[in-house]
Amino acid sequence: MGTRSIVPFGPQHPVLPEPIHLDLVLEDELVVEAIPSIGFIHRGLEKLVEKKDFVEYVYVAERVCGICSFMHGMGYCEAVEHTMGIEVPDRAKYLRTIWSEMSRIHSHMMWLGLLADAFGFESLFMESWRMREKILDMFEYSTGGRVIFSVNKIGGQRKDMDNSMISDFVGILDGMEKELKSLSYTFLTDYSVKSRLEGVGMLSKQQAHDLGAVGPFMRASGISLDTRMTGYAAYPHLEFEPITSSAGDSFARVDVRIKEIYQSIDLIKQAAAKIPAGDVFTPYKGNPTGEYLMRVEQPRGEAVYYVKANGTKNLDRFRLRTPTFANLPGLVEVLKGCQLADVPILILTIDPCISCTER
C-alpha cells in the first residue's frame, strides 16, 4: 500500500464548471475514496413557493438553472396543470417538445466543449461552442432570449412560432447535422480523445441501477430508460427509442450524448412535420388543489417535480429532484480506482449542474 493522503478538490478548480468539493483519499496517485460535499450555492428557491403565487413561480422555476431553464419551467407548469386538470392545446405540446429538444442540443454541445477543454483539445472545445451558438440564435429568434426566455406559463405557452420560422429552423438543423458529422468523427475516432476516455470511469449496468443513476450517464451503462417515453408533451406522437451503450466508460457517455444530439434534431424535424394549427394556451380559473409528481427527461437525465397545493394561490410545497443530485452516488463510485489526473474528466462525464442540484 502506498502513502495515503487526502487532497481537497474544488469548489474552485480550472476545469470545474460548477462549485462542487471532493475530498479525495489517494494512495500515491490512485483515488481510493471520494467524499462529495456541496452547499456553496444553496439559494432556497423551493422555499420561495410560499412567497410567490403559483403563476409567478414559473419565473423562479426557470431560474433554477441557466442551461435547463426551459425544461424547469415546463416541468413545473406540467405538474401544476395536472393538479388543476388543465389540458394544454396540442400546438403548445409540440412547441414544448421543440424547445425542449433545442435545449438538449445546446446542453449537449456545451458539455462536449467543456469535456474537450478538460482534456486539452481546445479547437474541439471552440468548434462545439461555435455550433452551439446557432441554437442560442434560434432561441433568440423564436423567444427574444438566449438563456432564460420565459415562454412557459400555466396552461400553455406565452409565444408561438409561425410555421415559416419552424421551417427555417429545420433548414438550420439540416446544416448543423452535416457539421456535427465532422465534429463527432473527431470525438469518436481521434486517438488523443480515446486515450483519455476509453476504459476510464467504468460503471456497470448493475451499479448504475443500484446507485440510482439517470440520463446519459445511466444509458451509457446499458440501461434503456428515457423519461420521454412516459409520454408528456408531444413525445407520444413521435418515433424514438432510448439511446444506450453497453461499455459503461467515459467514452460511452460521449457516444450516447452525440447520438442524442442527432436524435433531438430528428425529433424536432418530426415535430415540425406534425405540429397542428391552433391555440397555444388554455384559459383556466381558480387555484391548484392536490399534489402531483411530474417526471421530465432533461439533458442531464430525469428530473422530478413535486407540487402540493392547498386551493390557495400559494403552493404548500414545490420540490425538485435534479439529475445531478441523482448522479452524485454514481460519480463517487466511478472515482474509486481512477488516477488523480482523470478526476476532472470523470466529474464532467456526469454533466454536473450544481446550481440545479442545490436550488
159 binds other proteins (CB under 8 A): no
Per-position x/- string for 56-85, each x denoting binding to other proteins as judged by CB under 8 A, each - no binding:
--------------------------x---
Complex with other proteins: residue 225 or 335, whichever CB lies closer: 225
Complex with other proteins: residue 50 or 190, whichever CB lies closer: 50
Take residue 122 and report the three cell numbers written for it. Answer: 481546445
According to DSSP, the residues that pair with 34 across neighbouring strands are 24
Q: Alpha-carbon distance 110 to 124, whole Å? A: 11
Size of the site for other proteins (CB under 8 A): 37
Piece of 39-47, 57-65, 66-74, 88-96 that binds other proteins (CB under 8 A): 39-47
Complex with other proteins: residue 33 or 90, whichever CB lies closer: 33
47 binds other proteins (CB under 8 A): yes
Complex with other proteins: residue 41 or 147, whichever CB lies closer: 41
Q: Restricting to residues 290-349, which ones interact with other proteins according to CB under 8 A?
A: 291-295, 302, 304, 306, 308, 316-317, 319, 321, 325-326, 328-329
Q: Alpha-carbon distance 91 to 162, whole Å? A: 11
Question: From residue 66, how far is each of 146, 240, 254, 307 by CA, in Å?
Answer: 10, 27, 22, 22
Answer for which of 2, 39, 66, 236 binds other proteins (CB under 8 A) is: 39
Take residue 64 and report the three cell numbers written for it. Answer: 433554477
Q: How does DSSP classify residue 188?
A: H
Q: DSSP readout, 146-190?
A: SS----EETTEES----HHHHHHHHHHHHHHHHHHHHHHHHHHH-
Q: How does DSSP classify residue 42?
A: -
Answer for which of 40, 59, 129, 141 binds other proteins (CB under 8 A) is: 40
Answer for which of 167, 195, 210, 339 binds other proteins (CB under 8 A) is: 210
Take residue 324 and report the three cell numbers written for it. Answer: 445531478
Least Å distance, CB 93 to other proteins, is 17
Q: Are 270 and 239 in contact (CB under 8 A)?
A: yes
Least Å distance, CB 127 to other proteins, is 36
CA–centroid distance for 164 within its chain: 28
**CA angle, 103 then 160 then 281, to 5°:** 105
Complex with other proteins: residue 113 or 301, whichever CB lies closer: 301
Q: Alpha-carbon distance 177 to 319, whole Å? A: 37
Q: DSSP readout, 293-330?
A: EEEEEETTEEEEEEEEEESSSS-SEEEEE-HHHHHHHH
237 binds other proteins (CB under 8 A): no
Q: Restricting to residues 214-233, which ones interact with other proteins according to CB under 8 A?
A: 225, 227, 229-231
194 binds other proteins (CB under 8 A): no
Least Å distance, CB 174 to other proteins, is 33
Least Å distance, CB 247 to other proteins, is 21
46 binds other proteins (CB under 8 A): yes
Residue 282, Cβ neighbours under 10 Å: how many? 15
Q: Are 223 and 214 in contact (CB under 8 A)?
A: no
Take residue 356 and report the three cell numbers written for it. Answer: 440545479
Least Å distance, CB 106 to other proteins, is 26
Q: Which amino acid is at 297?
A: E
Residues in contact with other proteins by CB under 8 A are: 37-40, 42, 44, 46-47, 50, 82, 209-212, 225, 227, 229-231, 291-295, 302, 304, 306, 308, 316-317, 319, 321, 325-326, 328-329, 358
